[in-house]
Amino acid sequence: LYKEALIPMLEQEQKQREKDVKTISDHMEISLNTIIDRIQLQFAELQTQKESGSREPGLDGRIKMLEDRLDELNNRLEQRKANLLKEQQCTVSNIQHIGSAWVLPHPERETPAGKKMVSDPEIEKIAVKAVTKYEEARGWKVESVEDENRGFDLISRKPHPEDPQTAIEVRFIEVKGRSHIGNMLLIFYFPWRDPR
């Protein structure tokens, strides 16, 4: 089990994590460094005014605010780099028995409503488009991971207002489409997949 299943799975997961972390890291560094550069230019302009003898009211306060903002952005950049390095780590540990489950077929699977709940690729595509449209209308960026067998279909990210390449909230969405109208609502929440 260890050599033939767990080690190959670990290697595959490590490659995927490295790829994901590199992509996120590249975007994060570009966007935060762009903001830092912009703030540094504003800071340099105010410093030049001060050194040239400007007595403009509030100049020292604005310089202090930009200095604090630069410190905050640089700290955020370093913290995110450190967090991404941790996220990249992955290992196989001892196997622990956590629990057992008895899985039974749904009791209503033979009813007319239950028989209609079968997979239909065309309906799934329509459902994914509808969910994507909904998330994008909320201002979130949606990435389809349907073909990657991750256990969910979409990753929806709420962009940071000052840094659109950095997400401040992430949702992992499993989409289920239905081909008819009826009284049924299924909501799935996977707290162990929550990045917080």
Domain ranges of the chain: 2-88, 112-193
Q: Return per-residue pLDDT of the chain as tens, 196 residues.
A: 778 888 898 999 899 889 989 988 999 999 999 999 999 999 999 999 999 998 899 999 999 999 999 999 999 999 999 999 888 888 888 777 778 878 777 777 778 777 666 677 888 888 899 999 999 999 999 999 988 877 789 999 999 888 888 888 888 888 887 766 665 544 444 444 444 4
Among the residues of the chain, which ranges form H helices? Answer: 7-51, 59-88, 112-115, 121-137
Sequence-ordered list of residues with C-beta below 8 angstroms from that of 166, at least 6 positions apart, any chain: 27, 28, 31, 32, 80, 159, 160
In eight-state DSSP terms, residue 146 is G
Backbone angles phi, psi at 170, to 5 degrees: -130, 140
Output Rg (C-alpha) for the chain, integer angstroms.
Answer: 25
7, two tokens: 């080690």
Question: Is the model's pTM score more than 0.85?
Answer: no
